[in-house]
Amino acid sequence: MKESKKILFILILTILTMIGEIYFGFVSNSMALLADGFHMGTHAFAFGLTYIAYYFCNKYINSNKFASGTEKINDLAGYTSSLFLGLSGILIIYESIERIFNPLKIDFTQALIVIIIGLTINLISIIVMDFDHFHNHIHKHPHAHKKTDNNFKSAYLHILADLLTSVCALFALIAAKYFGWVLLDPIIGILGGIIILKWTISLIKATTVKLLDINTTKD
């Protein structure tokens, strides 16, 4: 399956999940479902941006309008998407710190529903994207970063970030429910947010090198 088709499939899956969570959030008065539904909206926007970039790359692949080809369209989309990824990490850290000073009563049933939905969607998305070929390419070719599809990578990191937060939330939820470790939830949230920011910085650096044609070889 081509990258653009993979992204389109995940985009549709994310939008359907978003609509479902927001609808059932309103019906059941579940703030947890509503919050995760709107959070899915940010990922849908990022995947939409990724797909649009692929569309224009394919449309103008043989055009002479772009002096260095259409590859930079993907890099620009990857750079823009990385900014939203960074924003997601900052919001997670902010909300986690807020929870430390103003702890909320946890509805374990609602939280488990959201986590199970999120984990399922993330796992399906990761299986569909199959990012292994990028890792294999990098190991076989030391300079493979020059050919890395940063647009696809940014979409993958969005899913990976969501999977990370879901797994951390599940672990923290179990610890809070059975051991009373309520503070573990915001602490893990802060650590997860920091990891997401590290991924963001790495992606911003990679896309900036491509967009500005920075020579990374040593003299």
Decide if 138 is inside a domain: yes
11 Cβ partners below 8 Å, 6+ apart? Answer: 44, 47, 48, 51
Of residues 84, 213, 73, the one with CA closest to residue 149: 73
Buried b (16+ CB within 10 A) or exposed e, 128-151: ebeeeebeeeeeeeeeeeeebbbb
Decide if 18 is inside a domain: yes
Question: Is there a contact between 155 and 51 (Cβ–Cβ < 8 Å)?
Answer: no
What pLDDT does residue 79 have? 92
Q: What angle do CA 35, 95, 112 make, to 5 degrees?
A: 45
Decide if 91 is inside a domain: yes
CA–CA separation, 163 and 14 (whole Å): 13
Asked if the model's pLDDT at residue 83 lies above 80, the reply is yes
What pLDDT does residue 145 have? 41
Give how many domains the chain has, as a whole number: 1
Share of the chain above pLDDT 70, in %: 84
Question: Is there a contact between 50 and 9 (Cβ–Cβ < 8 Å)?
Answer: no
Confidence of residue 142 (pLDDT cuts 50, 70, 90): very low
Q: What is the mean pLDDT of the chain?
A: 79
Asked if the model's pLDDT at residue 34 lies above 60, the reply is yes
Mean pLDDT calculated for residue range 15-39: 73
Decide if 219 is inside a domain: no
Decide if 21 is inside a domain: yes
Decide if 20 is inside a domain: yes
What pLDDT does residue 31 have? 58
Q: Please report, for the domain that includes residue 198, its CATH number.
A: 1.20.1510.10
Give the containing element (helix H, strand E) for 134. helix 132-140
Decide if 216 is inside a domain: no
Residue 180: Cβ within 10 Å count: 9
Query: Residue 48: which domain range?
Result: 3-211
What pTM value is reported for the model? Answer: 0.74
CA–CA separation, 157 and 82 (whole Å): 9
